[in-house]
Amino acid sequence: MKLEKNYFADVRNDDLTEIGQARPRSDVPGHVSGKTVYFADRHIPGTLHLKMVRSPHHHARIRSIDLSDAERHPGVARILTAKDVPQNLYTILILIQVGPEDEYVLAQDKVRWKGEAVVAVLADSERAAAEAAAKVKVDYEVLPAVLDMEEALKPGAPTVNELHPGNYYLYDSGDHRKVRFGDAEKGLVEADFVLEQTYRSSPIEHAPTETTGCLVVPEGNDRFTCYTNTQAMFFTLDNASIILQMPGHKLHMVGGTVGGGFGGKVDVTVEPVAILAAKLTGRPVSFIYSREEEMQISSPRAAETITLKDGVMKDGRIVARKVTGYTDAGAYSRHSPYGAQKGAAHYPGPYTIPNVWIDTYCVYTNRTPSSAMRGFGVTIADFALEVQMDKLARLIGMDPLEFRFINAYRDGDMKAHRQPTEGAALIECMQEASRLADWPVAERFMKMSSYKQEA
């Protein structure tokens, strides 16, 4: 590892003792010797295995559920349905006042996506649980589904979630998040060129090698120990407490090394129902996603549709940007209203644009609920923005890297959401990238600085 010291040379102090040094990871001796303990590296005798019966339909009304055959299956200890869950309706971010509660731990009356949890079967072995789950009979009335965001927002579209009329998340600013800065329409009219492009992305699964899961042990002191690979311990603790209507001190959540998360383990999908099962049976419970569940059921990165309309001058300045962004939450909110909001703040990119107009929508469809994944809300935005930057540079016949130097924000520049830029380092990063990639730019760009404006 090499620490470049020629950048910011006159403002840096070089008393760094850690940055630029290669340090071994503290956990790596355990990883290479096989001694690192993951949640499932515990064998607890007497454990019940939880198998979830899931919706085979994108959208359906539940007419009835018949458990009689499943309950008689050898090895079955207990079967849970919606009525067993003390507070069945929840949403993860209610903890930070991002409501309404809009999702059911176990489906109640309706299923809204293919794979939604309906009935939890608990049995002595994984095999018995799977066999009994296959005997649960759910009578569905299949409803029209909407799988496309633009279709979902049209009048008369099927309502995905009755708690979100119109199939959009209702922010305090209305049906979308908005940024208004300068006069984008005027800027577009005055620009030498205007380029409008639409970018679309599909959901992306994190696919961690360790699947989502937990083990729950009912303790002698009326508490429950939950060994979990959650990435969000306090979301899990507090949501489990709400769902189970159980004070937090009764829940002993034990985390540890997570076998890959990437944001895919911040939802609270296994712990509450497993703790409930342990409570109702008095036995340890294991609920671990199969590989198929991890790929099909765990929430992916949201699909997005992004339309960018930029006005650019022949000299390379972007003078206006208009953005409409749609984030596909799937059937329930989880972290998507927050992701769509992050997008709104992010769309100018690391560029100083005097006229900006942004609307972002969080849309509900009958698809797998989406949630967090590495930089959610901004990663796909960056894909669209940077492809657009290359296209704009081509449009005016300019080198794409030089085009970015012209527009890069620097200290003191006002961002579209009215935060002055501080501590910018984009110019210097691009200078180093130019050298490393052997992609030369004009000397004037190599002399620029993020914190010193030239005369």
Binding site for another protein (CB under 8 A): 24-25, 27-38, 40-41, 43, 125, 206-211, 257-262, 290-291
Q: Which is nearer to another protein, 201 or 290 (CB)?
A: 290
Residue 213 in 3-state DSSP? strand
Closest distance between another protein and the C-beta of residue 180, in Å?
Answer: 40
Closest distance between another protein and the C-beta of residue 373, in Å?
Answer: 12
Q: Which is nearer to another protein, 84 or 131 (CB)?
A: 131
**Cβ atoms of residues 314 and 192 within 8 Å:** yes
Closest distance between another protein and the C-beta of residue 213, in Å?
Answer: 10
Output the six-digit token pair for 152: 């979902």
Establish how many alpha carbons lie within 13 A of residue 403's alpha carbon, considering only the half-sphere containing its beta carbon: 21
Closest distance between another protein and the C-beta of residue 2, in Å?
Answer: 16
Helices (H), 160-319: 184-190, 233-244, 271-281, 291-296
- How would you classify the pairing of strands 304-312 and 224-228? unpaired
Residue 415: DSSP 8-state: P
The maximal CA–CA distance of the chain, rounded, in angstroms, is: 84
Q: Which is nearer to another protein, 34 or 144 (CB)?
A: 34
For 59-90, letters b (16+ CB in 10 Å) and e give bbebeebebeebeebeebbbbbbbebbeebbb
Give the C-alpha separation, 43 to 39, whole Å. Answer: 10
Closest distance between another protein and the C-beta of residue 41, in Å?
Answer: 4
Measured between alpha carbons, how far is residue 37 from residues 98, 257, 261 in Å?
34, 7, 16
Q: Which is nearer to another protein, 167 or 228 (CB)?
A: 228
Q: Which is nearer to another protein, 35 or 249 (CB)?
A: 35
Write the CB contacts of 11 (distance below 8 Å, at least 6 apart in sequence).
451
Q: Which is nearer to another protein, 146 or 288 (CB)?
A: 288
Q: Which is nearer to another protein, 1 or 9 (CB)?
A: 1
Closest distance between another protein and the C-beta of residue 34, in Å?
Answer: 3
Output the six-digit token pair for 17: 């003792």
Phi, psi (5° rounding) for residue 278?
-65, -35
Output the six-digit token pair for 252: 């002993």
Closest distance between another protein and the C-beta of residue 371, in Å?
Answer: 17
Closest distance between another protein and the C-beta of residue 264, in Å?
Answer: 10
Q: Which is nearer to another protein, 166 or 259 (CB)?
A: 259
